[in-house]
Chains A and B, each alone.
Chain A
Amino acid sequence: MKKVKRYFLGAFMSAALVIAGCSSNAGNKTEGPVDISKLSEVGDFSENLTLNLSGSITKGKAEDGSYVQKRLEEQFNVKIVNTKVDTWNKDQVNLMVASGDLPDTFAFTAGGQTPQQLHESGLTRTIPKEMLEKYAPRYMKMLSENPPGPIMNLKKGTDDQYLQLLGQYAHVDGLPWGPTLRLDWLENLGMKPSGEMKQVGPSGGREKIYFTEAAYTLEELEEILKAFTFGDPDGNGKDDTYGILPANNNLNWAASLMGAFGLAKGYNLLENDKLVTTEISQKYKEFLKLMAKWYDMGLIDPEFTTLDEKMGWEKYKQGKIGYYIAQPAYIAMDDWAKGRAPQNIVENPNSKAKVLATAPEIGKDGQQGVGAYLPVTNLADAFYISKNVTDKQLARILQIFDYINFDDEARWTLYGEVGVHSDWEGEPENSALKVRPEFAEQEGNSGFWAYNFRTYSKERVKWFTSAYTLKLKDEFYARNDIKEKMLIRPFKWDILNETNLIEVSKRYSGQLNTIVDEFRMKAIVGEIDIDKEWDKYVENWMKNGGKETLEELEKAPEVTGLLNNK
């Protein structure tokens, strides 16, 4: 029996060692200087290559032999292997990364690791600047037009090795959020909105949504919310309406309310010459005190504690809430925003509801605004190249990348041929494109979006944004003077990865988020006295990773400086 035991133990140890050997694959063999002269010329696709490609939008549903796949294979003389992983699914992405079994190109919508972590883990290779200049000139042009793009995401200690490729986010330019009120309630209550009101569109529900550049002060808004809560604005004779419905899982609902205090979630600011994050600032304390006052007054729907943002949209649709935050695309009723508040209240053709979008609320000292979607520049996201990709493969990948993402002639990779696969929603070249129902909108039999990166120039934004949203942005949300006056940016930001903020965040963000979320909710519902508990809360935050976070933030450059260097 002892012998049998020994055999089993031996077999187990051997298997373990074999696996250990297999799973250890450190080091990036594809790094170092590139002799670009030995690589093929631009446009020379004589050698057939096999590439395992995955894009930003990939949900693992790209069918083999799709329209886009065939055309790309023919154009670039490659054999494309599709990835069957849903890159929007955090669990699937994290498992794929942990296994180390990654496609040649990849980008994640959810999960994953930072570019530094992926590279230090030996999962990605660097991308030489020289190769980008040769094989992806349009991409490099875009970077140089968006400073400090060319010096972002460089491998530490180098000035010509990029850890990832970046996307241009022209679609998030301007104020990402703005407040809305139930206009029919205001009318029922005899409260005439100030400023000129314009309809967002002529039909499809848009005729019931109005926009005004006028803004209410916080005091005026409080009066409106009081009337919404206690004035029976829907005229049903019941006390069943509320002013505002927050969400329990994020702070989007307060984007413009916090803006009235000069705050934006997740950012930092200088307060009394001291660097603080939003969540421990005195201004945030004042914001919380106002919310606690509104809760105590009964203006906030008490059910919010159990409702996340999506459930909040459903509740808004029931017609009992008067105030809601919205993105320009929500009020313009773009397809992708269907079902979201506040547009969901007017979706039904029989709905008598009307919505008024206003400019962000004005705070005590005239402060008005919303946190910028991106802290410094409109460059974001990450497109990675696997460590297994050779220089020869990279040269081909970069040419495909540059073409499908930065050459507008490659629109067919997203929408096929207009008139065959898709049609303009309204005026040609000046409205959104709609894929015909017989083709998959993304991936599937068409292969649209399957290999593209999430990068959108102003021109490309037009392809998927309704003319109504574009008009709203042009007229207000992304107007230069509005951006200048109302976009709230952090005081400091580590955009060049010069600090250890990523490591600190990975280590402490779970604890810090728990402390912040718990305090916020308790403060709003009046479970704690904000003034009495504030110092204890800040101390707790500092002790659990806040101190380390601030120390790293101190090392980061000031955003004003980064912006002025443009």
Chain B
Amino acid sequence: MVTEAMTVKETTIEIKAPKKPIWQQMKKMKLLYVMLLLPAVMLFIFNYLPMYGVLIAFKNFSPGLGIWGSPWNNFEHFTRLFEDFMFIRALKNTLIISLLKIVIAFPAPIIFALLLNEIRNQKFLKVTQSISYLPHFMSWIILSAMIIEVFSPQRGIVNFIITAFHGNPINFLSSKVFFIPVLIITDIWKEIGYGAIIYLASIASVDPSQYEAAEMDGAGRFKKMIHITLPSIMPMVIILFILRLGGVLNAGFDQILNLYNPLVYEVADIIDTYVYRSGLEQFQFDYATAVGLFKNIIGIIFILGANAIIRRKSEHGIW
């Protein structure tokens, strides 16, 4: 059966005017393009021109010779990366910590947002939200001092509880077993509230009629959360997940640098901390840039790969 709408659509296609050349379209919207010029120039100057500096990853950089004048080094920095057993260890640690954070810490704000959405008492909701946002605004240098105190084997509340139950105090931050769990727990604690904001905004845009219809069908709050809220925010979850995968080689430099010590290097020394000690502190900007470039390439591969897989399995994705 041919509907009226279909007929109209076909007609529209038929009467569509031939596409104008780009320059004519631009001329027509010249004022808009002029407005775009300033941010575009700014973007070019501050975001694209500095990319030229990535060249030093392939050179023995000497400040006096400048970026272009410094000699090429035949991929020496990249060769060095993979000859250095400590870099390999740091790469392994980075992947482990990062993937654990993705698996455990990434869903935490989603669950938190879903739970917040179920709170009916507005005062309690606001207080809960405000308290949960607070740690996000504190730097790791401040938080690390607090964390060291909380987990102190002598004064910390955690060990106070352990000893109250006749356990032996645990030096969490010097233990290869406990250090990573502490990293993940404190990361969740710091970011759970702030990370939930974007999901709450997404939840707020869900059409209320869907909930009403579900109620009519006898769905309870849990069923509504699972079958309406969660699927509604799924596109947002997927986009953030793909972007998070792009940072898979960022395992939390600030957090680890402020909390680790040589006793846990074996599990906690990540690429960034190792390069900070062996590269930046020794004025090896070229080497540090090579590592940065390596991280970015891996990040892009992860983003493109994850996007392609998700696209194939569902209709969501970034591109």
User: Is B274 in the interface zone, CB < 8 Å from A?
Assistant: yes
Q: Mark A65-104, 1 if CB is under 8 A from B, else 0.
A: 0000000000000000000000000100010011110000
Contact A514/B171 with A16-B52, A248-B262, A305-B261 known, Cβ cut-off 8 Å = no
Q: A100-B63, A122-B62, A525-B174 are in contact. List 7 more A-B contacts (CB 8 A).
A: A26-B62, A111-B283, A305-B261, A306-B171, A506-B282, A514-B274, A514-B277
A123–B154 Cα distance when bound, in Å, is: 51
Q: Is A525 touching B65 in the complex (CB atoms < 8 A)?
A: no
Which residues from A are CB-within-8-Å of B262? 248, 514, 517-518, 520-522
Contact among A26, A303, A514, A521 with B263 in the assembled complex (CB-CB below 8 Å): A521
Give B270 Cβ to nearest chain A Cβ, in Å.
Answer: 13
Contact among B174, B281, B285 with A510 in the assembled complex (CB-CB below 8 Å): B281
Q: Is B64 touching A303 in the complex (CB atoms < 8 A)?
A: no
Q: Is A121 touching B269 in the complex (CB atoms < 8 A)?
A: no
Which residues from B are CB-within-8-Å of A97? 63, 283
Q: Is B265 touching A518 in the complex (CB atoms < 8 A)?
A: yes
Count of A residues near B, CB < 8 Å? 52
B18-64 residues at the A interface, CB under 8 angstroms:
22, 48-49, 52, 61-64
State which of B66-74, B194-202, B206-214 sits at the interface with chain A: B66-74
User: Is A387 in the interface zone, CB < 8 Å from B?
Assistant: yes
State which of A17-25, A330-338, A556-564 sits at the interface with chain B: A17-25
Q: Is B278 touching A510 in the complex (CB atoms < 8 A)?
A: yes
- List residues of chain B with CB under 8 Å of any chain A CB: 22, 48-49, 52, 61-69, 84-86, 148, 152-154, 171, 173-174, 261-263, 265-266, 269, 274, 277-285
Q: Is A525 touching B263 in the complex (CB atoms < 8 A)?
A: yes
Closest 9 CB pairs of A and B: A510-B278, A122-B64, A23-B66, A20-B68, A24-B69, A121-B64, A305-B174, A24-B66, A517-B262
Give B281 Cβ to nearest chain A Cβ, in Å.
Answer: 7
User: Is A259 in the interface zone, CB < 8 Å from B?
Assistant: no
Q: Is B86 touching A123 in the complex (CB atoms < 8 A)?
A: no
Q: Is B62 touching A120 in the complex (CB atoms < 8 A)?
A: yes
A509-533 residues at the B interface, CB under 8 angstroms:
509-511, 513-514, 517-518, 520-522, 525, 527
Give A475 Cβ to nearest chain B Cβ, in Å.
Answer: 38
Which residues from A are CB-within-8-Å of B265? 514, 517-518
Q: Mark A536-552, 1 if CB is under 8 A from B, else 0.
A: 00000000100000000
Interface CB pairs A-B, < 8 A, 20: A4-B22, A15-B49, A19-B68, A20-B68, A24-B69, A25-B64, A25-B65, A26-B62, A26-B69, A98-B63, A248-B261, A248-B263, A302-B171, A306-B173, A387-B64, A506-B283, A509-B278, A510-B279, A517-B262, A521-B262
User: Is A112 in the interface zone, CB < 8 Å from B?
Assistant: yes
Q: Is B49 touching A305 in the complex (CB atoms < 8 A)?
A: no
Q: Is B52 touching A305 in the complex (CB atoms < 8 A)?
A: no
Q: Is B153 touching A100 in the complex (CB atoms < 8 A)?
A: no
Contact among A98, A117, A306, A518 with B174 in the assembled complex (CB-CB below 8 Å): A306
Which residues from A are CB-within-8-Å of B152? 303, 306
Which residues from A are CB-within-8-Å of B274? 510, 514
Which residues from B are CB-within-8-Å of A19? 49, 52, 67-68
- List residues of chain A with CB under 8 Å of any chain B CB: 1, 4, 12, 15-16, 19-26, 90, 94, 97-100, 111-113, 117, 120-123, 240, 248, 302-303, 305-307, 311, 387, 505-507, 509-511, 513-514, 517-518, 520-522, 525, 527, 544
Chain B residue, CB-CB nearest to A240: B154
- Residue from A1, A514, A525 having most chain B Cβ neighbours under 10 A: A514
Give B71 Cβ to nearest chain A Cβ, in Å.
Answer: 11
Q: Is B171 touching A94 in the complex (CB atoms < 8 A)?
A: no
Chain A residue, CB-CB nearest to B275: A510
Which residues from A are CB-within-8-Å of B69? 20, 23-26
Chain B residue, CB-CB nearest to A100: B63
Contact among A99, A311, A527 with B63 in the assembled complex (CB-CB below 8 Å): A99
Chain A residue, CB-CB nearest to B174: A305
Which residues from A are CB-within-8-Å of B285? 94, 98
A514–B90 Cα distance when bound, in Å, is: 12
A327–B249 Cα distance when bound, in Å, is: 43
Chain A residue, CB-CB nearest to B169: A302
Contact among B65, B84, B148, B280 with A94 in the assembled complex (CB-CB below 8 Å): B280
A440–B148 Cα distance when bound, in Å, is: 36
Contact A20/B67 with A305-B174, A525-B174 known, Cβ cut-off 8 Å = yes
Which residues from A are CB-within-8-Å of B280? 94
Give A8 Cβ to nearest chain B Cβ, in Å.
Answer: 9
Contact among B61, B62, B278 with A514 in the assembled complex (CB-CB below 8 Å): B278
Q: Is B84 touching A511 in the complex (CB atoms < 8 A)?
A: yes
Give A202 Cβ to nearest chain B Cβ, in Å.
Answer: 36
Contact A123/B66 with A1-B22, A16-B52, A514-B265 known, Cβ cut-off 8 Å = no
Which residues from A are CB-within-8-Å of B63? 97-100, 121-123
Q: Is A511 touching B86 in the complex (CB atoms < 8 A)?
A: yes
Which residues from A are CB-within-8-Å of B174? 305-306, 525
Which residues from A are CB-within-8-Å of B86? 511, 514, 544
Give B139 Cβ to nearest chain A Cβ, in Å.
Answer: 15
Which residues from A are CB-within-8-Å of B283? 94, 97-98, 111-113, 117, 506
Which residues from A are CB-within-8-Å of B261? 248, 305-306, 521
A20–B70 Cα distance when bound, in Å, is: 10
Which residues from A are CB-within-8-Å of B64? 25-26, 100, 120-123, 387
Which residues from B are CB-within-8-Å of A306? 148, 152, 171, 173-174, 261
Which residues from B are CB-within-8-Å of A303? 152-154, 171
Which residues from B are CB-within-8-Å of A520? 262
Give B124 Cβ to nearest chain A Cβ, in Å.
Answer: 37
Give A536 Cβ to nearest chain B Cβ, in Å.
Answer: 13
Give B158 Cβ to nearest chain A Cβ, in Å.
Answer: 13
Chain A residue, CB-CB nearest to B285: A98
A111–B63 Cα distance when bound, in Å, is: 14
Chain B residue, CB-CB nearest to A23: B66
A518–B277 Cα distance when bound, in Å, is: 13
Which residues from B are CB-within-8-Å of A505? 282
A22–B66 Cα distance when bound, in Å, is: 8
Q: Is B65 touching A24 in the complex (CB atoms < 8 A)?
A: yes
Chain A residue, CB-CB nearest to B265: A518
Q: Is B269 touching A514 in the complex (CB atoms < 8 A)?
A: yes
A12–B65 Cα distance when bound, in Å, is: 22
Q: Is B281 touching A90 in the complex (CB atoms < 8 A)?
A: yes
Give A320 Cβ to nearest chain B Cβ, in Å.
Answer: 9
A455–B85 Cα distance when bound, in Å, is: 42
- Residue from B52, B148, B262, B281 having most chain A Cβ neighbours under 10 A: B262
Chain B residue, CB-CB nearest to A114: B283
Which residues from A are CB-within-8-Å of B67? 19-20, 23-24
Q: Is B68 touching A511 in the complex (CB atoms < 8 A)?
A: no
Contact A305/B171 with A19-B49, A19-B52, A522-B263 known, Cβ cut-off 8 Å = yes
A22–B153 Cα distance when bound, in Å, is: 56
Which residues from B are CB-within-8-Å of A21? 68
A306–B66 Cα distance when bound, in Å, is: 41
Give B58 Cβ to nearest chain A Cβ, in Å.
Answer: 14
Chain A residue, CB-CB nearest to B273: A514
Q: Is B62 touching A12 in the complex (CB atoms < 8 A)?
A: no
Chain B residue, CB-CB nearest to A517: B262
Q: Is B68 touching A24 in the complex (CB atoms < 8 A)?
A: yes
A111–B281 Cα distance when bound, in Å, is: 7
Give A507 Cβ to nearest chain B Cβ, in Å.
Answer: 8
Q: Is B277 touching A510 in the complex (CB atoms < 8 A)?
A: yes
Chain A residue, CB-CB nearest to B156: A303
A522–B262 Cα distance when bound, in Å, is: 8
Which residues from B are CB-within-8-Å of A117? 283
A94–B84 Cα distance when bound, in Å, is: 25
Q: Is B263 touching A527 in the complex (CB atoms < 8 A)?
A: yes
Give A16 Cβ to nearest chain B Cβ, in Å.
Answer: 5
Contact among A12, A98, A527 with B48 in the assembled complex (CB-CB below 8 Å): A12
